[in-house]
Amino acid sequence: EAQVTQNPRYLITVTGKKLTVTCSQNMNHEYMSWYRQDPGLGLRQIYYSMNVEVTDKGDVPEGYKVSRKEKRNFPLILESPSPNQTSLYFCASSLSGGPDRPSGNTIYFGEGSWLTVV
């Protein structure tokens, strides 16, 4: 079954304690991305990756890091979480439509990771 898998689904952590949210897709997609969802703000992109070892900032990258060492995995790292990073996080993936250019391919989302920083 084609899917995007995130872990953990739910996490409560304390300020400053490093954490990683993993994301894995089994569709051989080149493009992967992280979003956060906050009430009244919709979904905002944090980071994205066009392929292995190619990553770039989205709209709200501050306080986050990512890596893309393998095609299927795209972990989101919070080096020193703060309460304003309490949010619902989504990983997403899609095919890239040509030589490193996105197209109208559908983006598939994981089930989401609820993160609370206290």
Partner 1 sequence: AQSVAQPEDQVNVAEGNPLTVKCTYSVSGNPYLFWYVQYPNRGLQFLLKYITGDNLVKGSYGFEAEFNKSQTSFHLKKPSALVSDSALYFCAVRDRGSTLGRLYFGRGTQLTVWP
Residue of the chain from 1, 62, 69, 106 that contacts partner 1 (CB under 8 A)? 106
Residue of the chain from 58, 63, 72, 86 that contacts partner 1 (CB under 8 A)? 58
34 binds partner 1 (CB under 8 A): no
95 binds partner 1 (CB under 8 A): no
Q: What is d(CA 99, CA 41) in angstroms, rounded to the nearest whole number? A: 32
How many CB atoms within 10 Å of residue 60?
18
Preceding omega of 8 cis (within 30 degrees of 0): yes
The total number of residues shown for the chain amounts to 118
Min dist. Cβ of residue 1 to partner 1 (A): 14
Q: What is d(CA 49, CA 73) in angstroms, rounded to the nearest whole number? A: 10
Residues contributing to the site for partner 1 (CB under 8 A): 4, 31, 33, 35, 40-45, 48, 50, 56, 58-59, 90, 92, 96, 100-104, 106-112
